[in-house]
Amino acid sequence: ADTGAVVYDSVKAALSRDVDVLIIDTAGRIHTKVNLMEELKKIKRVIAKLVPDAPHEVLLVLDANIGQNSINQAKEFLEATKVTGIVLTKLDGTAKGGVIIPIKLELGIPVKYIGIGEDISDLEIFEPRRFVEALFSF
């Protein structure tokens, strides 16, 4: 199905049911695939037609294992849509997540959540102090 049509139908249904929160989770995409980045722009346009001030939150999910490439990825996503926060996943593995600092400093995007496992309970609100303490603990 056409992504734009699915998003349109979802937003219309949410509005008709007076839903407070609608989560639109797109398929994973690589920032170098122009057609997929254009699809993000289309999704934003479709949503804005029905709710002019939406989307209210756009979270970019990044794999902590890709390191500094995360910055390039985030930059490309910023060109396609306004990213309001980062979800950094796979911090339970070997990744240290040090890329959080340059993403915040260079791009001004806050990290809102971190993933430290595969269960829903492993998705945590990002707490900077706790993260820094864990980063430097040996």
Give pLDDT, residue 110. 92
Taking only the tens of pLDDT, the chain with its 138 residues reads 789 999 999 999 999 999 999 999 887 766 667 788 888 889 999 999 999 999 899 999 988 888 778 888 888 888 888 899 999 988 877 666 778 888 888 889 999 999 988 899 999 999 988 888 877 776
Domain 57-138 in this protein, CATH class: alpha beta
Give pLDDT, residue 63. 86
Q: 90 vs 2, 22, 45, 103, 126, CA distance in Å?
A: 30, 25, 31, 17, 13
Q: CATH 3.40.50.300 region(s) of the chain? A: 57-138
On whether the CB atoms of residues 64 and 116 are closer than 8 A, the answer is no
Give pLDDT, residue 138. 60
Give pLDDT, residue 23. 94
Give pLDDT, residue 137. 74
Q: Is 33 exposed, middle or buried (0-12, 13-18, 19+ CB in 10 A)?
A: exposed
Give pLDDT, residue 11. 97
Give pLDDT, residue 66. 80
The tally of CA atoms less than 13 A away on the side-chain side of residue 38 is 3
pTM over 0.85? The answer is no
Give pLDDT, residue 70. 83
The separation between the first and the last C-alpha atoms of the chain, rounded to the nearest angstrom, is: 49
